């Protein structure tokens, strides 16, 4: 809800096709006018929602579908319109831009979609963002007075999510009996995901642990660009450096601060979202989107710079 990030690039999707879940391929001149059939097509609507489930609120690293941000999806032949509302009218324009451009690009990845139109509702910069995104302008063109480029903040937010997920992945390995010296010495090639198991090669011995926290971390660390090659060190400090074994405990505490920070932001957004839409939320489900699974919503000591992923520990930590 605060700060900035976005990558405003991305082109329109391809041709209409019979498979509503396919990715964009084919000749865009090939589409036919099937608006009467598609306007109320639940399969196509479901396909759009599946693509939108890949779009995240960058501050929370949670899907905009899961967060109940989507107000409406309207399909007219090979054109799709999606309207969404954020928890407050003053949520970061750059974050809103990032979600809007990502939503547009995800919808247009469907092979039957020629064009997606995105509308940001009830936001202080909703008109500018809606116009700019649909005109395929850049963030700087829409907001010429903006300080800095949104791509840099997108990278910082990806790194923050990486640090947040690292703590649970490391803890899973420590709980399985892997020594700190072995954990910090792992590289990407040592880990293989097989179904619901993660196989970790530790000095020639395969350690089997729950895949979920490891796979989640791998997704985030690879997205951040910190780990791209098989021989890249797997676990890193918030600054992206290898971890000395004697500092692993301190790095774990710093990672906890990232988890608490994101969990706390989620709780605030949840409260604001419900205040805006009522206790049952915009879809009437009443489901909260705050992730309490890690129990990381308690208060903590420390200063957090949420855009550079650096923390100063309190003396009691």
Q: What is the pLDDT of residue 2?
A: 38
Q: What is the pLDDT of residue 310?
A: 33
| Residue 313 β-bridge partners | 302
**Each residue's pLDDT expressed in tens, for the chain with a length of 317 residues:** 433 333 333 344 433 344 555 654 444 434 444 444 445 689 999 999 999 999 999 877 889 999 899 999 999 999 999 999 998 888 889 999 999 999 999 999 999 999 999 999 999 999 999 999 999 999 999 998 877 678 887 888 888 889 889 999 999 999 999 999 999 999 999 999 999 999 999 999 999 999 999 999 999 999 899 999 999 999 999 999 999 999 999 999 877 665 555 555 555 666 666 666 666 555 555 444 444 334 443 322 223 333 333 333 333 44
Find where tokens 């396909």 sit.
47
- Domains of the chain by residue range: 28-148, 152-241, 252-313
User: What fold, for 152-241?
Assistant: hpI Integrase; Chain A (1.10.443)
Q: What is the pLDDT of residue 7?
A: 39
In terms of Cα–Cα distance, which of 251, 225, 49 is closest to 164?
251
Locate all alpha helices (DSSP H) within 176-295, ordered by sequence.
Answer: 180-184, 211-224, 248-277
The CATH architecture annotation of domain 28-148 reads 2-Layer Sandwich (3.30)
pTM: 0.63
| Half-sphere CA count of 47, side-chain side, radius 13 A | 23
| Residue 23 β-bridge partners | 110
- The Cα–Cα gap between 141 and 155 comes to 20
In terms of Cα–Cα distance, which of 44, 162, 157, 30 is closest to 102?
157
Find where tokens 């969990």 sit.
263
Q: What is the pLDDT of residue 61?
A: 80
């Amino acid at each position: 809800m605060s700060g900035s990030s976005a990558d405003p690039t991305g082109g329109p999707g391809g041709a209409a096709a019979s498979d509503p879940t396919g990715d964009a391929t084919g000749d865009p001149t090939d589409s036919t006018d099937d608006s009467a059939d598609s306007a109320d097509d639940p399969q196509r609507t479901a396909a759009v929602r599946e693509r939108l489930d890949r779009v995240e609120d960058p501050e929370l690293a949670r899907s905009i579908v899961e967060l109940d941000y989507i107000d409406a999806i309207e399909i007219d032949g090979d054109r799709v319109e999606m309207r969404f509302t954020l928890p407050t009218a003053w949520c970061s324009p750059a974050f809103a831009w990032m979600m809007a451009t990502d939503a547009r690009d995800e919808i247009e990845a469907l092979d039957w979609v020629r064009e997606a139109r995105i509308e940001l509702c009830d936001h202080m910069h909703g008109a500018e963002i809606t116009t700019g995104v649909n005109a395929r302008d850049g963030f700087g063109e829409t907001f010429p007075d903006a300080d800095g480029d949104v791509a840099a903040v997108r990278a910082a937010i990806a790194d923050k999510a990486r640090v947040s997920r690292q703590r649970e992945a490391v803890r899973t390995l420590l709980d399985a009996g892997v020594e700190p010296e072995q954990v910090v010495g792992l590289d990407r090639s040592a880990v293989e995901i097989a179904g619901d198991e993660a196989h970790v090669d530790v000095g020639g011995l395969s350690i089997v642990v729950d895949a979920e926290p490891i796979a989640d971390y791998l997704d985030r660390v690879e997205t951040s660009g910190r780990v791209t090659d098989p021989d890249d060190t797997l676990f890193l400090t918030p600054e992206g450096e290898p971890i000395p074994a004697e500092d692993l405990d301190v790095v774990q505490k710093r990672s906890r601060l990232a988890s608490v920070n994101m969990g706390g932001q989620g709780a605030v957004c949840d409260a604001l979202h419900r205040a805006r839409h009522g206790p049952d939320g915009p879809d009437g489900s009443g489901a909260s989107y705050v992730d309490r699974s890690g129990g990381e919503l308690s208060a903590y000591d420390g200063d957090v710079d949420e855009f550079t992923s650096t923390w100063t520990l309190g003396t009691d930590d």
